[in-house]
Structure 1
Amino acid sequence: MFHILIIDDTRSVHAFTKSLLNKASGIQVSSAMDGAQGLEALKENHFDLILLDWEMPILNGPDTLEQIKKMDVSTPVIMTTTRNSVEDIQRMLDAGVSEYMMKPFTIDILFEKISYVTGKNFPYAA
């Protein structure tokens, strides 16, 4: 089972992303509503991929990423955001995200990014 952690403060994003991921078999999804909850989940479970939102209360995406790196977690991270400036993208790539995904995204983009960062292909029903 391929385990994905979604860290995002928006319930509709969780529901939408889960609905897309559920179109493929072999994927288990866990949710955290902010960076602090995400870090706790990482202490308790192993994940194969993290989908990390940039703008969240309590602990935002960049600060959460910094803490993940300090925990020496090697799980690939895809930053999900509406921020699209070259500077923001480069900042996150330099900080260690594996990939950057603009919101809103489609099922094709989601699975393309997952495949790119993990090397795994998940056939899904469109």
Structure 2
Amino acid sequence: MYYCEWLDGVSDIREQWSLLPLEKTIEIAEQLGIKHPHVDGNPVVMTTDFRLTLKIKEDSQDVIRTIKPREKLSDRTLELFEIERVYFTELHILDILNFILIIILLNLFIKEYSRFILSYKTL
């Protein structure tokens, strides 16, 4: 969350954005040959960590930020990311490069710099 607050031009931050309709992510999972998330055998709605609205000149653009520390990048997590990536690619709102970079770099950022940066936010 703190990372998102410091991005240039962020005008809106929505956390745990639902990937709806549920049938769409089920369809994508089936196409990819990936088991859709479920609880007690019932499919559940997937979410993405952040959907941000960025103000770019006179316009705005939504971008997606999924944030996971490297140590939590299991094969299953990567499968779920692929469902998410296809979902947002079909909606034309995924910045794939940033999606990948966030996964790789954010853990370091959070651990090393968040306290330091937050101390300056109140100035």
Please classify the TM superposition score into its range, dividing by the shorter chain length.
0.3 to 0.5
TM-score, reference length from structure 2: 0.34
User: Which has the larger helix fraction?
Assistant: 2
Point out the structure with max Rg over C-alpha.
Answer: 2
Q: Normalised by the size of structure 1, how large is the TM-score?
A: 0.33
